[in-house]
Amino acid sequence: MRKVLSPALILMICAAGLAAAPKVTPVANISLYGGQYYLDSEPSAFGGNADIYYSPVVNFTREDILVPVLNINYNGTRDVKDLVGGGTLTRQTFDAGATVKYVHSFGDTKAKTRVGYKKSFINEAKDEKWNEGLFDYERLLGGLTVQTPFLRHSFSLSCDYYIVTFPNYASLIFEDEYESSIDTQTYSELSENAGEDVLDYSNLAVTFEASRDYTGSFSAFYYYQIDLRDYKDQTVVDDDGSFLKEKRADIVNSLSAGLNYRMNSMALRLENETRCSKSNQNSYDASSTRFNKDFYSYYSSEFTPSVIFYLGSARPSKLRFWWDIEFKKYLERLAQDEEADYLDDKVSQTDNGFGVSYQYPVYRNLSVTAQLNRRTMSSNMKYEANYKYNYTVSNYYLGLNWRFGAN
């Protein structure tokens, strides 16, 4: 039985013994949208999006709560996603994930454990079949959070470990065509330390969060997170294009702070996040025989204000405006012109987006939602044979949202 039962199911069975008659409170949020996507003013075909959230919250006692969560997301419109450090055009995406959380209270202190699994399917080409996408990935997650009040603040410390694998992505150096295209000695030297599953990684994230409610309508929050990411099968590139025995390792430090302000008819949120990512991985451009040291290290700063207006009294509608701008600067990666010639400047990017949405309640927990988003990415990197760095995307959606249970 231990070989068959998943860790999530084992956790549920153990928790079930804590109470003879648990109380189950189902919570659901389902959104169905139709809309259209534009890339640099060129429209795509009309498509649909769907988001499904379902959680039957199980209360065994006041101190012990089990929270199974099911998340399903489908995006049927084209989009540009940052998958491996550059903009990749996708046609469809589908995500399905399940998480089981267990919460135990020790007075005012809470301990939260969780395990989860997620499968993501990403289609880039029109004739690409599901489960054959180059960037399809799976993620296994386990984590623990301890939350406690202190000096009128709420503090929490979290530790999460997850493993991400890309089952359809492998280094081309192990393909038969590559081996036969060069001499045996060169292939042997290149493949001796080269990894095959070069995108697979494991990640340890430690997060410290704090928040305080000052007046009931005004609150502040801030957090610090450090991510330690190891690529078990991606070796570091040397200055002659060969591979070292050392494996790639990234360290990402993130610091964020924000404010929430709520009045009867308005809610305002301001947030700023600064991130510094340091990697030991380099790059070698064989076409230009150029070594690019410290290729993936960067720092960024993102500012996100948003405001919601509540219109009406009994069942108010919601009008939301948001703006998001991020500046990213690579520490050593050099920019290139349209002909792939290297410049003296380091690569920099500006991601500027804004949007508006309107949600109107039509019946109990059912509402109609319309939204419009626009995002512009600009960069001094002009060479875009592999990835897009300069583009404008916009979309509009109209659909239904249904909520059930507690918010």
Reported confidence tier of residue 188, pLDDT bands at 50, 70, 90: very low
CB under 8 Å to 208, separation ≥6 — which residues? 155, 156, 157, 158, 223, 224, 225
Q: Is the pLDDT higher at 68 or at 193?
A: 68
Q: Is the pLDDT higher at 159 or at 407?
A: 159
Give residue 353's pLDDT: 94
Give residue 245's pLDDT: 87
Tell which phi-psi region holds residue 52, choosing left (phi > 0), alpha (psi between -120 and 50) or beta: beta
Give residue 134's pLDDT: 85
* Separation between Cα atoms, residue 220 and residue 112, nearest integer Å: 23
Of 45, 131, 156, nearest to 91 (Cα)?
A: 45
Give residue 269's pLDDT: 96
Interval 305-320: pLDDT, tens: 999 999 987 788 999 9
Reported confidence tier of residue 88, pLDDT bands at 50, 70, 90: low
> Which tokens is 303 given?
């500012």
Cα 160 to Cα 3, 53, 105, 204, 225, distances in angstroms: 24, 22, 20, 6, 11
Q: Is the pLDDT higher at 39 or at 222?
A: 222
Reported confidence tier of residue 22, pLDDT bands at 50, 70, 90: confident
CB under 8 Å to 64, separation ≥6 — which residues? 15, 18, 19, 102, 103, 104, 105
Whether residue 191 is predicted with pLDDT greater than 90 in this model: the reply is no
Whether residue 15 is predicted with pLDDT greater than 60 in this model: the reply is no
- The lowest-confidence range among 33-42, 243-252, 307-316, 350-359 is 33-42
Whether residue 179 is predicted with pLDDT greater than 50 in this model: the reply is no
Give residue 20's pLDDT: 53
Phi, psi (rounded to 5 degrees) for 164: -120, 130
Q: Is the pLDDT higher at 1 or at 299?
A: 299
Reported confidence tier of residue 87, pLDDT bands at 50, 70, 90: low
Q: Is the pLDDT higher at 384 or at 58?
A: 58
Q: For the residues 372-376, what does the mean pLDDT come to?
A: 92
Partners of residue 138 on adjacent β-strands: 119, 165
Reported confidence tier of residue 169, pLDDT bands at 50, 70, 90: confident
Average pLDDT of every residue of the chain: 86
Cβ(42)–Cβ(1) under 8 Å?
no
Whether residue 357 is predicted with pLDDT greater than 80 in this model: the reply is yes
Give residue 83's pLDDT: 66
Instruction: Provide the Cα torsion 1, 6, 72, 211; round to 10°.
Output: 150
- The lowest-confidence range among 1-5, 39-43, 101-105, 319-323 is 1-5
The one-character DSSP state at 172 is: G
* Separation between Cα atoms, residue 212 and residue 203, nearest integer Å: 29
Q: For the residues 180-195, what does the mean pLDDT come to?
A: 50
Cβ(141)–Cβ(118) under 8 Å?
yes
Report the predicted TM-score, pTM, of the whole model to 2 decimal places.
0.81
Whether residue 391 is predicted with pLDDT greater than 60 in this model: the reply is yes
Give residue 139's pLDDT: 96
Partners of residue 237 on adjacent β-strands: 243
Cβ(226)–Cβ(252) under 8 Å?
yes
Residue type at 315 in one-letter notation = R
Cβ(366)–Cβ(402) under 8 Å?
yes
Give residue 21's pLDDT: 73
Whether residue 11 is predicted with pLDDT greater than 60 in this model: the reply is no
Whether residue 3 is predicted with pLDDT greater than 50 in this model: the reply is no
* Separation between Cα atoms, residue 257 and residue 403, nearest integer Å: 29
* Separation between Cα atoms, residue 171 and residue 191, nearest integer Å: 10
Of 64, 13, 39, nearest to 384 (Cα)?
A: 39
Give residue 37's pLDDT: 82
Cβ(210)–Cβ(163) under 8 Å?
no
Reported confidence tier of residue 335, pLDDT bands at 50, 70, 90: very high
Tell which phi-psi region holds residue 333, choosing left (phi > 0), alpha (psi between -120 and 50) or beta: beta
Whether residue 147 is predicted with pLDDT greater than 70 in this model: the reply is yes
Reported confidence tier of residue 4, pLDDT bands at 50, 70, 90: very low
Q: For the residues 350-355, what does the mean pLDDT come to?
A: 95
Give residue 373's pLDDT: 92
Give residue 251's pLDDT: 96
Q: What is the DSSP string of 47-93?
A: EEEEEEEEEEEEESSSSEEEEEEEEEEEE-S-EEEESSSSEEEESEE
Map out the domains of the chain as residue ranges.
238-400
> Which tokens is 186 given?
């060169």
* Separation between Cα atoms, residue 71 and residue 28, nearest integer Å: 10
Interval 249-305: pLDDT, tens: 999 999 999 999 998 899 999 999 999 999 999 988 888 888 999 999 999 999 999
Give residue 183's pLDDT: 40
3-class SS at 146? strand
Of 292, 400, 405, 384, nearest to 30 (Cα)?
A: 400
